[in-house]
């Protein structure tokens, strides 16, 4: 299966208007966009979600769009699902509020946090972070290293490696058992987000072909 490349937004590190950067990255191979702008209030976040959704889907109709934590924003903007923080409501309760088939992703900082999720509470993906020190913010947790990916993947949930992922590190994530990667700084802080996203896309696909 093709590794998933998720772009996690942070307009504060973007070198160009966020909508332009997102559209360029999606055109270059990003499969999923996670809207993560914690400082915005509901109205501003909804407006941004609608703008980003329109631009991203104009480039690629099947791109997946999820909102960090805010189920109400996902519903109002017509997005595909949510990404739940480690202290957010349970997966099963989120699914009950969303349309059937919606994407529910979760944050995790250790494999043990994924243990015991029942069938009704099983997320579609789990972000494991930080694998390396983040490029887009000051890290507050010790890096887990790529070996942690294998343990987390053993829980039976597709793992997206997050934190410090670069083109050079993408292959190590796939080799360790990740289903893909979640990236912010390497793409948005680049002068050419399309070039950065395309490089990671190629690295992921190459690693997957070798592992197959």
Q: pLDDT tens digit string along 53-93?
A: 999 999 999 999 999 999 999 999 999 999 998 778 899 99
pLDDT of residue 42: 96
Question: Which has the minimum average pLDDT: 63-77, 95-109, 135-149, 182-196?
Answer: 135-149
pLDDT band (50, 70, 90) for residue 118: low
Cis peptide bond prior to 130, omega within 30° of 0 = yes
pLDDT band (50, 70, 90) for residue 120: low
Write down the mean pLDDT value for the chain. Answer: 94
Entry pTM? 0.96
pLDDT of residue 89: 87
Residues 190-200 have a mean pLDDT of: 98
CATH of 4-211 among 3.20.20.70, 3.30.70.980, 3.40.50.2020, 3.60.70.12: 3.20.20.70
Q: pLDDT tens digit string along 150-169?
A: 999 998 999 999 999 999 99
Partners of residue 67 on adjacent β-strands: 35, 82
Residue 119 has pLDDT above 70, yes or no: no
- Rounded Cα–Cα distance for residues 136 and 133 (Å): 9
- Rounded Cα–Cα distance for residues 131 and 166 (Å): 11
SS3 159: strand
């Amino acid at each position: 299966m093709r590794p998933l490349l998720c772009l996690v937004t942070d307009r504060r590190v973007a070198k160009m208007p966020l909508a332009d950067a997102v559209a360029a990255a999606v055109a270059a191979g990003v499969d999923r966009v996670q809207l993560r702008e914690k400082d915005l209030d509901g109205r501003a976040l909804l407006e941004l979600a609608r703008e980003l959704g329109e631009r991203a889907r104009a480039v690629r109709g099947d791109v997946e769009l999820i909102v960090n934590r805010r189920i109400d924003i996902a519903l109002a903007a017509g997005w595909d699902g949510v990404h739940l923080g480690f202290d957010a409501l349970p997966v099963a309760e989120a699914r009950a509020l969303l349309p059937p088939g919606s994407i529910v992703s979760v944050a995790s900082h250790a494999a043990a946090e994924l243990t015991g999720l029942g069938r009704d509470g099983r997320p579609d993906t789990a972000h494991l972070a930080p694998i390396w020190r983040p490029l887009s913010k000051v890290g507050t947790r010790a890096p887990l290293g790529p070996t942690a990916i294998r343990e987390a993947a053993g829980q039976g949930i597709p793992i997206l490696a997050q934190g410090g992922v670069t083109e050079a590190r993408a292959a190590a994530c796939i080799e360790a058992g990740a289903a893909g990667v979640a990236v912010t700084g390497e793409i948005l802080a680049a002068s050419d987000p399309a070039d950065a996203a395309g490089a990671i896309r190629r690295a992921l696909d190459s690693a997957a072909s070798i592992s197959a």
